[in-house]
Amino acid sequence: MIFDLPGRFWRGNLHTHSNLSDGYLSPAGTAQVYRDAGYDFVAITDHFRGEYGFPMTDTRDLRTDGFSTLIGAELHAPLTEAGQEWHIIAAGLPLDFAPPSAGETGPELARRARAAGAFVGMAHPAASLLTAVDAESLDAAHSIEVYNALSDREDRGDSWHLTDVLLNRGHRMTTYAADDAHLQPQDPPPCKAWVHVRAESLDPDALLSALKAGHFYSSTGPELYDVRIEGNVVVVHCSPATKILLSGGHPGAEVKQGTDLTEASLPLGLFRGLHCRITVEDAAGGRAWTNPIHLPVDNSTH
């Protein structure tokens, strides 16, 4: 598990917009919002569209000893089953990443971004009305944006259903939560969803390597201190919670509920040979999620 890895957890947002596309603040002002909120890094992922001049927002001069950035963009190309353009997060792109070529599809663009070194995320699947056919075609994605704080305003913030369908079909992808902050005056407040990335430093390459390796968990509030498999149970230690849930590739679940819960041991029997995950919920309704945990066929020998 990631909790014993060298280094520490760094808090960051992977989906953010500035006024180089349709955001409200400059890149510097956008980064300042996250720095002031105690974040350790941010990826400003402006919309990579012709109407904005295909911006690849250069945030290198916004890095300090205690704050880092990942260079990236939200990529777009035709077309999903709903007839909409793709929304693809790519963090860790080179500044000279070329705009989409004529006829380049979303999956092709994502493959090119991954080949260029980016961590590729499937942005807000629920808000984009993605189908399983869509999602399976985006074969270059490392991760799925399972919670998008801006899309939650439309009651389409949570994309766990599609994620579990893909995982049950054998796709080994990680999962992340993000703001999708534009910081417009009418928007919901920022800093509502983030990742905690386990890395030895804030160096962009170290963060990017950890993201690709799945060395992170996601949250809208609670903290995870340790999650590990001991025999045929998952043992969880966390910040005070009202619910600690084990769910995943089986319709059933194991749950512990109470007041100020800080630990739980949940049996794995329902999930033999499947994937599972831990969700922690606090009294304010905030949640934290592990990445999917893939289990051997016989858990009892694990």
pLDDT, one tens digit per residue, over 176-221 is 999 999 999 999 999 999 999 999 999 999 999 999 999 999 999 9
pLDDT at 262: 98
Are 209 and 239 within one domain?
no
CA distances from 197 to 88, 212, 273, 285 (A): 20, 10, 27, 22
- Residue 212's H or E segment, with its range, is helix 204-213
Are 241 and 198 within one domain?
no
> Which tokens hold the place of 244?
């600690």
Instruction: Tell me which residue of 221, 145, 222, 227 sits closest to 178, measured CA to CA.
Output: 145
How many domains is the chain built from? 2
Domain that holds residue 139: 2-219
State which of 181, 196, 219 marks the end of a domain.
219
pLDDT at 9: 98
Rounded Cα distance between 292 and 278, Å, is 8
pLDDT along the chain (302 residues), means of 10: 96 98 98 98 98 98 97 97 97 98 97 98 98 98 98 96 96 97 95 98 98 98 98 97 96 96 97 93 98 77 40
pLDDT at 298: 60
Residue type, 236: V
The model's pTM: 0.96
Local structure of 2: helix, strand or coil: helix
pLDDT at 300: 43
Are 159 and 264 within one domain?
no
State which of 219, 246, 271 marks the end of a domain.
219
